[in-house]
A and B are shown apart, each in its own frame.
Chain A
Amino acid sequence: MIRFSHVSKEYAKTGPALQDVSFQLGKGEFAFLTGPSGAGKSTILKLLYLEERPSRGEIRVAGLTASSIRGNGVAALRRRLGIVFQDFRLLEDRTAEQNVAFALEVTGARPETIGPKVSRLLTQVGLSSKSNALPRELSGGEQQRVAIARALANDPVVLLADEPTGNLDERATRGVFQLLRDINAAGTAVLMATHDLDLVRRANLRTLEVNRGQLVFDTADGGEGRAGEGA
């Protein structure tokens, strides 16, 4: 699903952010991405959804070579991904329902399919009763559920989540995390960057740890050291 091969990234302004990072995430797999602030977690996710381009190395996502995609290939790749952020990124002047429908409308879904699909997605994230609420009328956890429903709109094969529970209290965190687990159980690979070490420890799932731009730990390797290509 995801393969980083010797990927490095240097930002023009701040210099190296990732150095020679290699790892793989299989189909339907779940992995945490952890590490201190500024380690490069968000950068790894940005490279996956083509917000940024690698300086060196090759990235494959969902069957496409992300590092060499141009033009409308970017849009095509993003339709195979779901992306969720700490700050939800909902449109404030639209209801939960409209926010989810938006993702379908702008990717050219057939109009008559949108309504049923939106209500199915909102049911899936447990928000069918609040479909007409505006974001400001929803709690943080509920807003994140709307964002997740939107991320699922185009039936992604990979869900990328950048600190999806960063703004949530513990209860909401557990709810959203469980939702991501359910989504993963249904076959979608999930890569989730997080600071929440408690959550990581309790979950006992594969964890990739980055520090200063390097992959320093991968539980799939069974311990310390850099993740090899065959991981």
Chain B
Amino acid sequence: MRLAFREALDAFRRAPVLSALSITTIAFSLFAFGLFGLVALNIRNALQQVEDRVEIRAFVIDGTGAEAVSAALGDIGAFPEVATVRYVSQFDALARARRELGEFSDVFEEGILPASIEVRLKPGLRDPATVRGISRRIETYDFIDDVRFGEEWVEKLYRLRNIATIAGIALGTVFAIVAVIIIGSTIRMAVLARAREISIMRLVGATDGFIRAPFLIEGFLKGTLGGILALGLAWVTTAILGRFVIVTEFFSPGLALTGILAGALIGLLGSAFSVGRHLSRA
């Protein structure tokens, strides 16, 4: 094992440019993946906050009877998706507006704001589709004038998150494939450079596993280094963004470790793939 490690390190020394290239492509693969992952992560967090505030507000036509409204409250409260339902009278609406707007409170006069029914949905059921569904059902009451729920930007955030996820996966995959190919050709060169050594190893009775080990270790090390490099790049990017544009959340330690492991896996797969093909011919 120690010998295999020494040989793996020798390989770096023998082909420094190719080694650096394979580490860099693995890093870019994971960086692309990670960057869009971070975007998706932060959008998800934003969505969570927005969703917490998602509220359906149904405006009640002036002069609607109290019994009709309370019957509707009962009905709506019984929808399985609904967490709370609340009636906000014209008076309440005015009081709230005055409180929220402070010094401009004078501009409001009694009766200028309509009464409304405010509905909050249960956590996890605040996605655009559910919100829209519930809104449609509330709209069917004939004393309801208009229903609002901030539909557009919830949907926009959702779309953005999906795009970020897909872009990250697509770009990351392309880079990962390139990384596997480059690692493959590094290994091929290393096998050729050591063909004589390998044939002698075979001759004196070294096992295939033993002959393979240094190449696999080499791939694993490159992948791990690539993963660490990618994490560093992502961290620097986040730090720069945080300094000049917007403070965003970074990967949790678990996710960061997963990223490094993914790099190690790419490196290992790249070399395992190539070593199997080229060793048999060496």
Contact = CB atoms under 8 A, between A and B. Distances in A.
Interface of A: 49, 71-72, 75-79, 81, 83, 89, 91, 102-103, 105-108, 111, 150-151, 153-154
Interface string B184-226: 0000000000001101111111111111000000000000000
Nearest to A150: B204
A106 B208 contact: no
A49 B203 contact: yes
A91 B202 contact: no
Given A91-B196, A91-B197, A105-B3, A153 B203 contact: no
Contacts of B204: 78-79, 83, 102-103, 106-107, 150-151, 153-154
A10 to B, nearest CB: 21
B3 A106 contact: yes
Contacts of A77: 205
Contacts, number: 51
23 contacts: A71-B208, A75-B202, A75-B205, A75-B207, A76-B205, A77-B205, A78-B205, A81-B205, A83-B203, A83-B204, A89-B199, A89-B203, A91-B197, A103-B200, A106-B3, A106-B201, A106-B204, A106-B206, A107-B204, A108-B210, A111-B2, A151-B204, A154-B204
Nearest to A78: B205
B242 to A, nearest CB: 51
B194 to A, nearest CB: 10
A81 B204 CA distance: 8
Nearest to B198: A106
Contacts of A91: 196-197, 200
Contacts of A71: 208
A91 B196 CA distance: 8
Given A105-B3, A106-B3, A72 B200 contact: no
B227 to A, nearest CB: 30
Contacts of B199: 89
A38 to B, nearest CB: 23
Interface size class of B (residues with CB under 8 A): 10 to 19
Nearest to B207: A75
A203 B200 CA distance: 31
B87 to A, nearest CB: 79
Nearest to B197: A91
A78 B199 CA distance: 12
Contacts of B206: 75, 106-107
Contacts of B208: 71-72, 75
B207 A102 contact: no
Nearest to B6: A105
Which 9 A/B pairs are nearest by Cβ-Cβ distance?
Answer: A79-B205, A78-B205, A106-B206, A103-B204, A75-B207, A75-B205, A106-B201, A72-B207, A107-B205
A159 to B, nearest CB: 13
A115 to B, nearest CB: 15
A134 B218 CA distance: 28
A153 B205 CA distance: 11
Contact of B202 (A76, A78, A151): A78
Contacts of B211: 106
Tell me which of B204, B209, B210 has the highest count of chain A C-beta atoms within 10 A of its own C-beta: B204
B226 to A, nearest CB: 29
Interface in B150-168: none
B205 A102 contact: no
Contacts of A76: 205
Nearest to A103: B204
B203 A78 contact: yes
Contacts of A153: 204
A209 to B, nearest CB: 26
A4 B102 CA distance: 105
